[in-house]
Amino acid sequence: QAHVERLRRDGSRLLEEEQERLKKKLAEDLLNSQDDEQESYRRLRVSWDPKSYDYSQDDLNRIFFKYGDCDVVMSKKSGKALVEFHYSQAATRAMRSERGRSDAPLKVTYMDGSTEPKTRTHLSA
């Protein structure tokens, strides 16, 4: 009888430990996937009509740096650039606010072409 009780307690303890380990792994995987998701929202695609005004790299640095630390990469094609921010919040502010010059508007989107970050619903344990 005592032997059976001890085995039952040991089994329960092992089950609890395994469940805790799985919870930690799931939380870690979720954080990693959110980091990857945030990474994609640090980069913006910027385009404009170069016939109205051809923005230079310096122009774009001045425009976007006010939202946060960033790097501007000009495309070989005129009228296109990529802006990579250090933080996704800065990229979101820039994407929502920046329109460029009134006579040469900028079109600013995330790299996937969207204008809003995708939201994810999470189930709580």
18-24-26-28 Cα dihedral, nearest 10 degrees = -150
Q: Is residue 11 part of a domain?
A: yes
Burial class (CB in 10 A: 0-12, 13-18, 19+), 53: middle
Contact 105, 99 (CB under 8 A): yes
Q: Is residue 120 part of a domain?
A: no
pLDDT digits (tens), the chain, 125 positions: 888 888 989 888 988 888 888 888 777 766 655 555 567 788 999 999 999 999 999 999 999 999 999 999 998 888 999 999 988 889 999 999 999 999 999 999 998 888 877 654 444 44
Q: Is residue 30 part of a domain?
A: yes
Alpha-carbon distance 51 to 40, whole Å? 30
pTM confidence score: 0.64
Helix (H) or strand (E) run with residue 16 in it: helix 2-40
Say yes or no: 50 and 100 in one domain.
Answer: yes
